[in-house]
Structure 1
Amino acid sequence: MLTYIFGVGILVIFLGAIIYARWYYGVLESMGIPVVPTTMFLGSVPDLHKQVIHEMDIKYFKKYGPIYGVYEGRNPILYVCDPDLIKNITIKDFEHFKDRRNMDFGDKYFNEIFDFLKYDKWKIVRSQLIPAFSPARLTPLKTGLDIVLNDFVRSLEQKCGPSGRAKIDIR
């Protein structure tokens, strides 16, 4: 009898863990968003650490379109690759998209990355950054940037030669 109760208890715990892990699976699909297929517990991309992130993003963009979803563990994540929609989300309608991912990098400086700040702090930092990128501040930089970029292009052309190809180590 005790073995039976223990077995049922283990089964209930196991089923509870499965239900907990998969609780949000289907949320994005119910909204009509194409989703990268999920695994049992690890979400859509269990081998994320083995892939180059931007190459994976490009692959999924080509396969699923400009808006698609993944599950990181049990969390639904929406990827938006449409420039007009990104502009609306980050500039015009930012009041409706207040908080982004909650990331903890374990470092006080990395935790202050602009993209991951909570809304109240993000709004303060944004108001301080906007004047730095005004046309009046950026125009004087144009001449210096033109010189540096033209030198860079000439250097690339020399390195590539007539074939227009060369191996360049960018590390």
Structure 2
Amino acid sequence: DEVITGFRVARGGARELFGITPDLATYGKIIGGGMPVGAYASSAAIMAHVSPDGPVYQAGTLSGNPVAMAAGLATLEKTGRPGFYEGLERKTARLAEGVRDAAAKAGVTASVVRVGSLFWTVFQDPAPVRFDRVDGDMGRYGAMHRALLERGVYLAPSGWEVGFVSAAHTDADLDRTLEAVEDVLAGL
């Protein structure tokens, strides 16, 4: 499932980053530059079973939408530029480390899990590695989210969601975000 990780953690998604060869991969709207589209991919042998060549019928309302496909091509062009993912990695590492530092400075128990341009803030330490071990303070996350919104910073509204750093985020954006996070965590 590359709906979240596809093109965000590496150009080849989590399968590239972790060296996995899946039988089938699914992708979300990132393949269309954020436009409403999804896709699945597999080997030629498996895809041969899908129509029009194979017996498995597949269709969709937005299949091949030209606007989404143009946005997708633009996304592929941008993500294929030298240094693109290294830049995302640098920005996201900086954000994650800054949130960790702000929590430590405020005496707040928190962890930031990061893979590529994805990050997740959870109010527990150590960070859980399994879903059934998540017991972070979701009320505290909600309070942080609301306080950050008041300061013009939007993070995922739920403590169960990951956040994303994009190529559009500048160092100035990260500075402003980290200043707001430090201020908010000091008041929690």
TM-score (norm 2): 0.26
Structure number with greater Rg is: 1
Name the structure where helix makes up a greater proportion of residues: 1
